[in-house]
């Protein structure tokens, strides 16, 4: 191979979801782009499929600046291939190159035959997704082969994400193209199919006949694309340790390392700022709850906690089944201990709906009318008080004061009575905010009914299923997802199958404590880096070694313990949780990608590295983060045995970065 400069390599990152939102990888590529552009600058290009409808909104076309790339693309154009080059319209505006697979559809059969001949990968005639993957893979390989033939100086790295973009990996290996390859599995294809059935996945993972299981599910050819990519790449990675364990047994290659998914964390200049956001957004959730429970609004919002789970509708994989069951047990325990706390649990997952439920809309309307009527009456009362006081011209001062019976006129009382009467309702508040397409067979609704959480007056746990993602334009809650999360007290994500887990990570970045599981990539990551995750507001349910019954009880225990915390304890815990956001930032997580690229270069160009630089994929985590200080030493007044006052206590705790000067409103 040609001697190349490994210190200033060129990076191509290949994914089906570049400027093409299909699933979660789109968010990964989009959020990671700024740190990669910061490292590589114009030496970084993302490659994806060209879908004109989405590309016109996502990409700003521009001239190709790299002369070698321009030569290759011009030659491909002469061969009838259509492509688009430009800037992805996201933060950092990285270069993107999109190929139109439809422009080479006439070569499909030729390339299918070649794929079988070169890599022994079969391809059935009627699988459009596989056909697109093959066309895209051959286009990417064509481009990369011609590019490295012209670019003789710099080393080239091609990083492929998931099986749809991975056909090029075995082709590059078999054709001996002079570049380094990385393949990242965000979740194995066979793993997703296995857990979607009733298979006891993790207990049987070592004994699966993978070829047979893939064949039974009609994904034999797809499975072989993914497996070939894992075996033919210079460096094979996954997004978490749990996915690495899965890949080792299903793809039959142990990953070289883990590339966890980061976020672009927004840090506030003062700690109280994110606490204030919690208070502001919580008040908007209060408004919704008052309306939703009209007629049965008999609980104290100052003693109410908001729990939530959210994500794509995967009833078992996301752990919604265990969440609902544990809510039923939490309800029994709160009633048994006569707790004053009420829990309102939101389940936010998109499902097939017909429209908003009339009862949900009515509740918001009647409480809004009541609020406006009271505001109007309050303004009139203030005007009466002012007018009488302003007319005071001397004499008995009592004559300038409005008597209590004069505050409300008969007309005001009539209007107020009308609004209050409108709050009467016949049945209990609904458990779902929309009219479902198939209410009777919906798994979430049936699970809620099974545990009898029907929002009855005696329940301490209320449940609201919101079957669409949060939107600030909604007539119900009227909050975007991020603001809704900030307003809640606890996120619950006890996933059974979750390669990473962006939702609990987002909670952490926003300072919201969460419950996750050790079968999620995020839960495993936190167990790996924290000595005591619970002290930082990260409660990890053991779903790997415990039975389902034990896991449900453990989760109910975690939620009960959270309900028993004082307001100050919750504030302190949110501060601790938010402090972890730096660990999840791409500036830190991106270092794992740096190590993977270095290892790929070392394996491809070993002579370019000194011995000390030889490729070992070592995580940046060298030691676990210790337990946080629960409290400072008791502040004392010098020379006195008396107890310190509140100001000294607050100052002492602030010195330890344990709490900010909390506002009691930010509960």
524-535 tens-digit pLDDT = 999 999 999 999
Superfamily name and number for 5-188+226-241+253-258: Glycogen Phosphorylase B; (3.40.50.2000)
Please give the average per-residue pLDDT across 648-660, as a whole number. 39
Please give the average per-residue pLDDT across 528-543, as a whole number. 94
User: What was the pLDDT predicted at 538?
Assistant: 96
Least confident stretch, 19-28, 223-232, 551-560: 19-28
Burial of 63 (0-12, 13-18, 19+ CB in 10 A): exposed
Strands 59-61 and 83-88: antiparallel
Residue 640 clears pLDDT 90, i.e. is over it: no
Strands 180-185 and 83-88: unpaired
Residue 270 clears pLDDT 70, i.e. is over it: no
Please give the average per-residue pLDDT across 477-493, as a whole number. 94
CB atoms within 10 A of CB 580: 21
Residue 232 clears pLDDT 60, i.e. is over it: yes
Q: Taking the domains of the chain in order of start, what are their residue ranges?
A: 5-188+226-241+253-258, 284-357+430-584, 365-423
Residue 292 clears pLDDT 80, i.e. is over it: yes
SS3 643: strand
Topology agreement, domain 5-188+226-241+253-258 and domain 284-357+430-584: yes
Mean pLDDT of the chain: 88
**How does residue 650 score in pLDDT terms, banded at 50, 70 and 90?**
very low
DSSP string, 517-571: ETTBHHHHHHHHHBS-GGGGTEEEE--SSS-HHHHHHHHHHHHHHHHTS-HHHHH
Instruction: For 30-58, write each residue's pLDDT tens digit.
Output: 999 999 999 999 999 999 999 998 999 99
Residue 393 clears pLDDT 80, i.e. is over it: no
User: What was the pLDDT predicted at 666?
Assistant: 47
Q: Tell me which of 649 and 537 has the higher pLDDT.
A: 537
Six-digit token string for 209 = 């006949």
Which one of 3.50.50.60, 3.40.50.2000, 3.20.20.70, 1.20.1250.20 gives the CATH number of domain 284-357+430-584?
A: 3.40.50.2000
**How does residue 502 score in pLDDT terms, banded at 50, 70 and 90?**
very high
Cα–Cα distance for residue pair 462/358, rounded to 1 Å: 19
**How does residue 124 score in pLDDT terms, banded at 50, 70 and 90?**
confident
Q: Which of 248-262, 575-589, 610-624, 633-647 has the highest mean pLDDT?
A: 248-262
Query: Percent of the chain beyond pLDDT 70?
Result: 91
SS3 156: strand
User: What was the pLDDT predicted at 613?
Assistant: 54
Residue 634 clears pLDDT 70, i.e. is over it: no
Residue 184 clears pLDDT 90, i.e. is over it: yes
User: What was the pLDDT predicted at 269?
Assistant: 57
User: What was the pLDDT predicted at 380?
Assistant: 82
Least confident stretch, 118-122, 355-359, 375-379, 484-488: 375-379
Residue 637 clears pLDDT 50, i.e. is over it: no
DSSP 153: S
User: What was the pLDDT predicted at 165?
Assistant: 95
Cα–Cα distance for residue pair 600/503, rounded to 1 Å: 31
SS3 133: helix
User: What was the pLDDT predicted at 294?
Assistant: 84
User: What was the pLDDT predicted at 1?
Assistant: 52
User: What was the pLDDT predicted at 385?
Assistant: 82
DSSP 317: T
Residue with tokens 């054709």: 175
User: What was the pLDDT predicted at 641?
Assistant: 38
Cα–Cα distance for residue pair 460/328, rounded to 1 Å: 10
**How does residue 275 score in pLDDT terms, banded at 50, 70 and 90?**
confident
**How does residue 551 score in pLDDT terms, banded at 50, 70 and 90?**
very high
Please give the average per-residue pLDDT across 176-198, as a whole number. 92
Please give the average per-residue pLDDT across 281-305, as a whole number. 90
């Amino acid at each position: 191979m040609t001697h190349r400069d490994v210190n200033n390599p060129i990076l191509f990152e290949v994914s089906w979801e570049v400027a093409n939102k299909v699933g979660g990888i789109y968010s990964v590529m989009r959020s990671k782009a700024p740190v990669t552009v910061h490292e590589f600058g114009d030496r970084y290009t993302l490659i994806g499929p060209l879908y004109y409808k989405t590309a016109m909104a996502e990409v700003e076309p521009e001239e190709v600046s790299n002369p070698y790339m321009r030569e290759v693309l011009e030659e491909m154009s002469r061969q009838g291939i259509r492509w688009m080059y430009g800037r992805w319209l996201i933060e950092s505006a990285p270069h993107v190159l999109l190929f139109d697979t439809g422009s080479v559809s006439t070569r499909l059969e030729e390339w299918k035959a070649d794929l079988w001949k070169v890599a022994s990968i079969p391809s059935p005639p009627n699988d459009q997704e596989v056909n697109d993957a093959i066309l895209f893979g051959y286009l990417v390989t064509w481009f990369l082969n011609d590019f490295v033939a012209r670019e003789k100086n710099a080393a080239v790295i091609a990083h492929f994400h998931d099986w749809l973009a991975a056909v090029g990996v075995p082709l590059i290996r078999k054709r001996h193209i002079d570049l380094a390859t990385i393949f990242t599995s965000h979740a194995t294809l066979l793993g997703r199919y296995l857990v979607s059935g009733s298979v006891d996945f993790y207990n049987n993972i070592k004994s699966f006949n993978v070829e047979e299981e893939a064949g039974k599910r009609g994904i034999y050819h797809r499975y072989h694309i993914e497996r070939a990519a894992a075996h033919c790449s210079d460096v094979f990675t996954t997004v978490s340790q749990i996915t690495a364990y899965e890949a080792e047994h299903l793809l039959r290659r142990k990953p070289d390392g883990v590339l966890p998914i980061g976020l672009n964390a927004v840090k506030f200049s003062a700690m109280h700022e994110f606490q204030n956001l919690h208070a502001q957004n919580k008040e908007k959730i209060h408004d919704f709850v008052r309306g939703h429970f009209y007629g049965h609004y008999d609980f104290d919002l100052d003693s109410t906690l908001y729990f939530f789970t959210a994500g794509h509708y995967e009833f078992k994989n996301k752990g919604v089944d265990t969440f609902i069951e544990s809510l039923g047990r939490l309800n029994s325990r709160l009633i048994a201990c006569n707790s004053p706390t009420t829990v309102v649990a939101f389940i936010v997952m998109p499902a097939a709906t017909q429209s908003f439920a009339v009862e949900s809309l009515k509740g918001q309307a009647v409480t809004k009318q009541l609020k406006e009527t009271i505001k109007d009456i309050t303004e009139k009362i203030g005007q009466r008080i002012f007018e009488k006081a302003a007319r005071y011209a001397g004499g008995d001062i009592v004559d300038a004061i409005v008597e209590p019976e004069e505050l409300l006129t008969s007309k005001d009382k009539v209007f107020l009575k009308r609004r209050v009467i409108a709050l009467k309702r016949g049945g209990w508040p609904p458990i779902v905010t929309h009219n479902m397409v198939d209410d009777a067979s919906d798994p979430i609704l049936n699970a809620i009914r099974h545990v009898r959480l029907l929002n009855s007056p005696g329940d301490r746990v209320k449940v609201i299923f919101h079957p669409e993602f949060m939107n600030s334009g909604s007539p119900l809650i009227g909050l975007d997802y991020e603001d809704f999360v900030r307003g809640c007290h606890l996120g619950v994500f006890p996933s059974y199958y979750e390669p990473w887990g962006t939702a609990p990570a987002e909670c952490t970045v926003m300072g919201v404590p969460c419950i996750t599981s050790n079968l999620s990539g995020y839960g495993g990551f936190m167990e790996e880096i924290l000595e005591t995750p619970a002290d930082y507001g990260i409660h990890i349910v053991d779903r790997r070694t415990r039975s389902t019954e034990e896991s449900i009880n453990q989760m109910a225990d975690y939620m009960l313990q959270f309900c028993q915390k004082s307001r100050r304890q919750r504030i302190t815990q949110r501060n601790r949780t938010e402090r972890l956001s730096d660990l999840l930032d791409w500036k830190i997580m991106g270092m794992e990608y740096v190590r993977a690229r270095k290892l790929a270069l070392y394996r491809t160009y070993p002579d370019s590295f000194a011995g000390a630089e030889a490729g070992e994929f070592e995580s940046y985590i060298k030691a676990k983060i210790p337990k946080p200080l629960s409290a400072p030493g008791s502040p004392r007044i010098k020379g006195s045995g008396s107890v310190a006052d509140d100001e000294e206590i607050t100052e002492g705790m602030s010195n330890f970065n344990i709490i900010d000067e909390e506002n009691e409103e930010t509960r």
